[in-house]
Structure 1
């Protein structure tokens, strides 16, 4: 039996295009590039035992997320302090926690992330968890690159990954 959970949805235009912000009553749980595909997300949540109720409504969490994202894109914020409600497997959560340790304007490889969580042979699994990151930008999966330094994979598209890395390398926040 699935537990009913409210998901509050708001949108903001950003230099990377439309971002859809989703929050629960515990915090921000998802940021989508473009419009939210509710049917796809609902199916994913159902596998986690959650039945979503979608509410088009602003909340304190969505307002905070939008404000902090605007500050990030304006070059006045290098880290995020919003409340989060991460929904994922224990392995994914370990990877996402490790991603948050990558400093603003820095990059790490998938191998370095795997080593950072104590699973040096789990490079492909780290890539999979990175791909499932529900909070791109906030949990900076755009800062993960291939071992050869190449820009590889990004849910928001490689152009946006390069834009985010370029923004971070050109802005010096004191």
Structure 2
């Protein structure tokens, strides 16, 4: 049975969906009608805990069972994304090269954009070849926030 839970994050309400075979989707929404779940289904509790730990700065990686739907190529891209270390970034070209074909850069970027596992499969760690923040389904402001959250160098404000 597929279940869903909603949790509050610093970036909005996250939706977590899965079943006994694993988490199939984690997404963020701007829908103000969505509210945090009062009860978390048992099969989602570990994912919720790990996401909360991530946002609290207590977790750098995830070890929950995943079960995303996608093509074989998309799953290969998502697997490569999962190898990007916490606090690091790579370019779309780097991902294409890791897949063995620099010419598949557009296909890799497209698969990156269809990543159904927000944060856990860290598509936010992929930037343009020039280091620029490029395309992010959750909004560039969220991508910037996530990269700053993971940065080993914390910026201080003067005021």
Residues paired across the two proteins, number: 148
Given that 1:33 and 1:156 are in contact with CA atoms closer than 8 Å, whether structure 2 keeps it comes out as: yes
Structure 2 counterpart of 1:24: 19
Residue 88 (structure 1) shift: 0.4
Structure 2 counterpart of 1:113: 95
Alignment pair present for 1:15 and 2:10: yes
**Larger CA deviation: 26-35 vs 65-74:** 26-35
Where 1:76 maps in the other structure, the secondary structure is: coil
Where 2:103 maps in the other structure, the secondary structure is: coil
| Structure 2 portions without partners, runs of 5+ | 32-38, 155-159
Structure 1 counterpart of 2:83: 101
Structure 2 counterpart of 1:40: none
Structure 2 counterpart of 1:168: 150
Q: Distance in 2 between matches of 1:23 and 1:76?
A: 23
Given that 1:20 and 1:35 are in contact with CA atoms closer than 8 Å, whether structure 2 keeps it comes out as: no
Given that 1:28 and 1:83 are in contact with CA atoms closer than 8 Å, whether structure 2 keeps it comes out as: yes
Change in CA separation of 1:35 and 1:82 when aligned onto 2, cut-off 3 Å: farther
Structure 2 counterpart of 1:69: 51
Change in CA separation of 1:135 and 1:171 when aligned onto 2, cut-off 3 Å: farther
Residue 62 (structure 1) shift: 1.2
Q: Distance in 2 between matches of 1:88 and 1:62?
A: 21
Q: Distance in 2 between matches of 1:59 and 1:18?
A: 17
Residue 86 (structure 1) shift: 1.6
Where 1:30 maps in the other structure, the secondary structure is: strand
For residues 14-68 of structure 1, give each alpha carbon's deviation from its aligned partner in whole angstroms, at most 9, with x where no partner exists.
01110010012201110111179xxxxxxxxxxxxxxxxxxxx743331111100
TM-score (norm 1): 0.80
Alignment of 1:135-174 (within 5 A): 135-170=117-152
Q: Distance in 2 between matches of 1:171 and 1:79?
A: 18
Given that 2:93 and 2:102 are in contact with CA atoms closer than 8 Å, whether structure 1 keeps it comes out as: yes
